[in-house]
Structure 1
Amino acid sequence: MSQDFDLSPEALPPADGPGLFGDPAPPAAPYRVLARVWRPTRFEELIGQDAMVRILRRAFALGRVAHGFMLTGVRGTGKTTTARIIARALNCIGPDGSGGPTADPCGVCANCTAILADRHPDVLEMDAASRTGVDDVREIIEATRFRPMQARMKVFIIDEVHMLSRNAFNALLKTLEEPPAQVTFIFATTELRKVPVTVLSRCQRFDLRRVSQSELASHFGAIAAKEGAAISADALALIARAADGSVRDGLSLLDQAIALGEDGPGAEIDAAMVAGMLGQADRGVVFDLLEAVTQGRADLALGITEQAHARGADLGLMLADLLELIHTVSRLKTLPALRDTRDLPEAERVRGAELADRLSVPSLARLWQMLLKGIGEVEVAPDRADAAEMVLIRLCHVRDMPTPGDLVRRLVDAPAPETPSRPEPPADVQPADPKPIAPVLSGWRDVVAHVATCREASLHGHLRHSVHLVRFAPPIIELRLQPQAPRDLAQRLAAILSDATGTRWTIAVSRAPGEPTLAEQSETMEASGRTRAEAHPLVQAILSTFPGAQVGRLHDRRLDEYGLLPQAAPDLAFDQNELPEDD
């Protein structure tokens, strides 16, 4: 028995409904994230990499395409995407099947479509992060022996190549240096310094730079418009800043921000919504916080943080935003031309310029240092919010503290103790004749200083650090030597002094303890001076005013080159019969 079926369009089930015989509707295609949907497929679609694109285009035009490429840069700047575009450019045969290598692949031929779909048998991608051994590289080397199955060139794309082991790199060197004519290697890495120089020297290197915030914001705005999402310029600027030069990271954030939008015509995603999504405070709130800090309004600053904390903002991240804003204001202060560039959002150019005109560079530098230290304290504190508020309170009171320059000026302006003036020489005294003058060796330090003028650096160092003076009675010197002192020290010193004075000197070696070395005396003098300096009321006030400050190197004009006070000339009388015996 036959049965008639109505096959008119009106009687057919809808395309997205159940089947003709009641079968369930086919599942909808899974959602593809923006980073995959808007991945560039042509050189001109790469943003922020103009220099690399220009060189590659010229290389294809001249037929001078290298057999090995090294693409480096931070995450999300387009390294793997560039490698796939190069693979398509090498293997494109055009719509009619007769084309050759070109910088403008057609995108419709069999090779282009297969490479775009990641299923071309002659374009092989390997993740070196998971396949690091020499056996994995040997598989690639073995594959280079065979001609391409479908394409013109075999292309091997190795991502994160710096993860390969040393043996794997060594196994690859010979093939990389002299590859078959139909093979091209494209390496991508975020850690170029970990790639052996022997590999780098066999590749053309391209550094993919971070994409500027203005380029990212413009790119994200165009994509949002194509996706039918309304997002404000300030919100795009927040996403671009958070992306930190990475297109992929920014597209992931944009994907998340678009999901924040409310249904209804004209509903716009604003900066406050994006800031909440990123866990950041609104940029205007950060400006208000910086103004409160620079005005010393601790009550206003804490009120701002309480409201931000109630909205779910992390006060530690808020301090990081404040630190970044101080850097921006400092750049506006130092580079006034930034006020006219489009790399900064309008709010930062206007309010940031006002703060830059009002704040001095030393004030900004002091805020930066204190805030940088405070952020470290927040990270280790039991309660991040409490620690962040304490940092802000300290910042608000810093405006009442004298700067280090003011303290130095106070010390300089303080009346100095009077010192007796030296008597002027008589007017009738004439200068001596320019004849060699024997050195005045009135003490042990004079002897050591004279050795320093004789180009005896090694001997001079041992006299300072390895020699203890037991007795000084010219032309007799009694010394105790430390084990590291050279054995011929006494003979060398005696010869130098005899040549300088014309008198025979005797350098005796003793086992008596003697004085501390000159270096030990200098260290003792410096420690004593530091103790006295730290006990001074003004220094104590400075240390308490600036937490973490330390007393640096002391400079005392009274001290000689050995860090010691001048010593009085000793009694040079000695008994010739009291010569010590040499040990």
Structure 2
Amino acid sequence: MLLEPDQILTEAIVETVFSGSSLLIKMNRNTKVLALKYRPQTFEDLIGQDVVAETISNSIKANKVPNAYLFTGIRGIGKTTTARIVAKSLNCLNGIDNLCKDDLCENCIAISNSNHIDVLEMDAASKTGVDDIRDLIEFSRYGPTTAKYKIFIIDEVHMLSKQAFNALLKTLEEPPEYLKFIFATTEIKKIPITVVSRCQRFDLSRIKSLELFNFIKKIKDKENGNASDDALKLIVKISEGSVRDALSLLDRALLTLDKHKELDLISVQKIFGYFDKSQLINLFELIFKGKETEVLNTYREIYNQGVEPKIFINDFLELLYYFKNIESLNIDGTNFSLNDEEFNRIKSISEKIDNETLILFWQFTIKVLEELDIVSNQHLSMEMFLIRLIHLKSIKNTSDTIYEGSQHTNEGAFQTSLSQKKDDEDLLGIKNTAETIGQMKNIVQEKNVKLKDNKKAEAQSNVINSFDDLLEVCSFRKEIKLKYELEKNVNLVSFEDQRIEISFNEDLDKDFIKDLSLKLYEWTNNRWIITLSKTKGQPSKKEKEVNLKKELIDNVKNSLIYQNILDKFPDAELVDVNPNERENKND
């Protein structure tokens, strides 16, 4: 027969009786994992949640306790722990001012062990239905047995069904005085607003890097662990502000190595599959030097350390962010991602890299993340990604590709984005050994060239001094319909300053006069007078073209060459004539 223990805290004694003899087993608290062993028991033990702790303490002291608390935030920052502390604060036999810390009262012991009869902890992930909530409501009708308040702690409350939330609304809004609800969730948006509005909401924030570092360093000392500060900083970075994650990683790291060996940064990188940032900075620098072989060898070294491609890509994006924004950051604000040497090195290199290249690299790298989901061999995809970056960096700066006038040259050697004023050296003072693979422009460069041409054309479009100018402006403004009417259905009588006299044929659009007047005012900021004349006027643009073509055909038909052709090919018929434009060159 096995007797249940009353409690397991600092130590527990379990009495077993086997074959008429009793056996005492002493269980030490050291068997617990660090995340449970050092779980906060009071508000003073909480880290990073000072505002929440102070607000709740003041409300309890002022006897203004809300019907329900709602704690939300990422995993491992103390939502359930805070819920238990609140439950202990409400039911501690010594009161909130003398809350148990070391020598716990009966209520605090039972709540810490999750076996208090008046404090019910429920996991909404396993009990999501409306029937579970109905049982809870039925149980709430009875007052507390030994404590002041009956408290329901519902973890992952967002997992409850819609019907379960609806069943809870009335009780949540007007519960008995002795009943309190405490909800915890990581998905606040999944909770109906009708429930959120009935709770006092607290958003628990991520733990700051420095605060979390000091916390796990104290625990490392208590556990007599041998770990360097750099190793602990990497653990803090990987945990992303979660205390539970940080303690779990520390627990694993301390158990991996012998106690007599120090847990250094390299060891932690191997344990958790992370690599040294200096390797990535070297890789980034080699990309801009165009050294394909060295880039691939460096990446393969990183890959052989057990680094997954997606982790590599995310670290690469992080490094791009630092290169872009290093001037606005400080070492303390980089979440322990960089040490002093790496920080200063990035800051030095970033001064020689233009922002357009970094943004282009960022967009290109984001696309590769999508590619990794559809490629079976991600390692090969990563190598091709780095090769593409090497060629991508060879695109010249936008400022180097815009030339004055309309002539552009296809000649010239490539310069890297790190290139200095010298053509044969980059900004690091290293000659670029990457071979030129051909002149090309990126999208941004072409847009800038087009933008410059467009600005010139736009400035010229404000001046309309002739009918031909009007047709050119219509082409530039993409007013195709208006241009068609002007060319085919309009006969110009006279064209003067802000005055046009025309005649037209029966095919002219009925809204032509109105549309042309509006566009002229829009383009020139002047009102134009358009009058209709009975005079035939000049032939339309299309008529001129037809007449010219007819004249050319007639001239050719009268030529000796055409007559010779007809002699040899009697069935030949002249259909079209394309005159050759010859430039007279004066030597």
Same fold (TM over 0.5): yes
Does structure 1 conserve the Cα–Cα contact (< 8 Å) formed by 2:57 and 2:96? no
Under a length normalisation based on structure 2, what TM-score does the superposition of the two structures give? Answer: 0.65
Counterpart residue type for residue 352 of structure 1: I
Q: Deviations over 1:74-132 (max 9, x none)?
A: 111111000000000000112xxxxx344844451111111111111111011111111
Does structure 2 conserve the Cα–Cα contact (< 8 Å) formed by 1:71 and 1:208? yes
1:390 to 377, 384, 397: 384
Aligned partner of residue 120 in structure 2, secondary structure: strand
Match of 2:64 in 1: 64
Match of 2:312 in 1: 318
2:406 to 405, 414, 436: 414
2: CA distance between counterparts of 1:203 and 1:196? Answer: 11
Match of 1:122 in 2: 118
Does structure 1 conserve the Cα–Cα contact (< 8 Å) formed by 2:122 and 2:154? yes
> Structure 2: any 5+ residue segments left out of the alignment?
1-17, 409-438, 459-474, 491-502, 507-587
Does structure 1 conserve the Cα–Cα contact (< 8 Å) formed by 2:74 and 2:186? yes
Match of 1:566 in 2: 483
For residue 46 of structure 1, report the CA deviation from its aligned partner: 1.6
Does structure 2 conserve the Cα–Cα contact (< 8 Å) formed by 1:72 and 1:207? yes
Q: Deviations over 1:404-426 (max 9, x none)?
A: 5654x34x75359xxxxxxxxxx
Match of 1:32 in 2: 32
Counterpart residue type for residue 414 of structure 1: S
Are 2:177 and 1:278 aligned? no
For residue 41 of structure 1, report the CA deviation from its aligned partner: 1.0
**Structural mapping, 1:8-47, within 5 Å:** 26=25, 31-47=31-47
Match of 2:363 in 1: 369
In structure 2, the CA distance between the partners of 1:559 and 1:545, relative to structure 1 (3 Å rule), is closer
2: CA distance between counterparts of 1:214 and 1:295? Answer: 37
Aligned partner of residue 69 in structure 1, secondary structure: strand
In structure 2, the CA distance between the partners of 1:415 and 1:284, relative to structure 1 (3 Å rule), is closer
2:168 to 172, 177, 189: 172
1: CA distance between counterparts of 2:313 and 2:505? Answer: 73
For residue 369 of structure 1, report the CA deviation from its aligned partner: 1.7
Counterpart residue type for residue 353 of structure 2: L
For residue 151 of structure 1, report the CA deviation from its aligned partner: 0.8
Match of 1:346 in 2: 339
In structure 2, the CA distance between the partners of 1:389 and 1:148, relative to structure 1 (3 Å rule), is same
2: CA distance between counterparts of 1:31 and 1:277? Answer: 22
Are 2:372 and 1:357 aligned? no
Q: Deviations over 1:371-394 (max 9, x none)?
A: 222233234223221111111122
Does structure 1 conserve the Cα–Cα contact (< 8 Å) formed by 2:372 and 2:378? yes
Are 2:193 and 1:197 aligned? yes
Are 2:295 and 1:301 aligned? yes
Does structure 2 conserve the Cα–Cα contact (< 8 Å) formed by 1:70 and 1:188? yes
Q: Deviations over 1:128-185 (max 9, x none)?
A: 1111111111111112111111111111001111111111111111111111001110
Match of 1:289 in 2: 283
Q: Deviations over 1:336-383 (max 9, x none)?
A: 4x2465843424433333333343322322221222222332342232
1: CA distance between counterparts of 2:399 and 2:374? Answer: 32
Aligned partner of residue 316 in structure 2, secondary structure: helix
In structure 2, the CA distance between the partners of 1:565 and 1:138, relative to structure 1 (3 Å rule), is same
Aligned partner of residue 391 in structure 1, secondary structure: helix
Aligned partner of residue 400 in structure 1, secondary structure: coil
Does structure 2 conserve the Cα–Cα contact (< 8 Å) formed by 1:401 and 1:545? no
Under a length normalisation based on structure 1, what TM-score does the superposition of the two structures give? Answer: 0.65
Q: Deviations over 1:187-213 (max 9, x none)?
A: 111111111111111110000111222
Counterpart residue type for residue 63 of structure 1: N
1: CA distance between counterparts of 2:64 and 2:98? Answer: 12
Aligned partner of residue 259 in structure 1, secondary structure: helix
The share of aligned pairs that are identical, in percent, is 37
Does structure 2 conserve the Cα–Cα contact (< 8 Å) formed by 1:89 and 1:103? no
Aligned partner of residue 157 in structure 1, secondary structure: strand
Counterpart residue type for residue 262 of structure 2: E
In structure 2, the CA distance between the partners of 1:340 and 1:51, relative to structure 1 (3 Å rule), is same
Match of 1:257 in 2: 253
Does structure 1 conserve the Cα–Cα contact (< 8 Å) formed by 2:73 and 2:204? yes
2: CA distance between counterparts of 1:362 and 1:198? Answer: 47
2: CA distance between counterparts of 1:343 and 1:144? Answer: 45
> Structure 1: any 5+ residue segments left out of the alignment?
1-18, 95-99, 417-539, 576-583
Counterpart residue type for residue 78 of structure 1: G
Counterpart residue type for residue 44 of structure 1: E
2: CA distance between counterparts of 1:134 and 1:105? Answer: 37
Q: Deviations over 1:301-349 (max 9, x none)?
A: 222122223333334422322222222332323x14x246584342443
2: CA distance between counterparts of 1:123 and 1:306? Answer: 55
1: CA distance between counterparts of 2:332 and 2:25? Answer: 55
Match of 2:471 in 1: none
Q: Which stretch has the larger CA shift, 290-299 or 25-34?
A: 25-34
Does structure 1 conserve the Cα–Cα contact (< 8 Å) formed by 2:395 and 2:441? no
Match of 1:483 in 2: none
2:133 to 134, 137, 149: 137
Match of 1:512 in 2: none
Match of 1:91 in 2: 91
For residue 48 of structure 1, report the CA deviation from its aligned partner: 1.5
In structure 2, the CA distance between the partners of 1:92 and 1:170, relative to structure 1 (3 Å rule), is same
Match of 1:508 in 2: none
1: CA distance between counterparts of 2:390 and 2:214? Answer: 37
